[in-house]
Amino acid sequence: MIRVVLPAHLRTIAKVSGEVQLAVEGQVTQRSVLDALEAQYPTLQGTIRDHVTQKRRPFVRFFACEQDLSHESPDAPLPAAVASGAEPFLVVGAIAGGRDSLRPTRRQLLATSSVGLSGPGGAQSSEAVPAGELNLPKNTPPTCRFRSPSFDVLAESKLERIGTREPVVL
């Protein structure tokens, strides 16, 4: 079974309280995992990737085995540890900025898989990462085929302003 960790808001939408287990037929890729996820939880359609283009939403990131896989091809095989169920596939709300000492650790990310610090809009920019409640295995062997970048490089290059209802000021 493929293990998927969703951010808190999407766990609420999907009405799940912890890690999601998915049966994926054939090759395990981002696309096949997300197809299975959306088939099992249809309310998640459109929240992780665009309804039409099927592209990842700009401020959603995909991690596994301490790798940022967000820019990998959706049809590229995921790490063997994900395919075997040893490691989870993480869907994460993008995080940007902050001093090193304030950046969340991998365990914090795994525990929350949520959003925090500064994401796409100003409204949530000063909020701390909330405490998580997932029970994830400790010392999961990093049997991955990729290098292991740090988890702090999560920002999209271009932030967009959202949420304001102010009018144009010319």
The footprint of another protein (CB under 8 A) covers 7, 9-10, 13, 43, 45-48, 51-52, 57, 59-60, 93-94, 115, 119-121, 123-124, 160, 162-170
* Beta carbon of residue 17, minimum distance to another protein (angstroms, whole number): 16
Q: Which is nearer to another protein, 149 or 163 (CB)?
A: 163
Q: Which is nearer to another protein, 21 or 43 (CB)?
A: 43
* Beta carbon of residue 164, minimum distance to another protein (angstroms, whole number): 5
Q: Which is nearer to another protein, 49 or 79 (CB)?
A: 49
* Residue given tokens 């609420």 in the structure block: 12
* Beta carbon of residue 142, minimum distance to another protein (angstroms, whole number): 27
* Beta carbon of residue 70, minimum distance to another protein (angstroms, whole number): 13
Residues 135 and 18: beta-carbon distance below 8 Å: yes
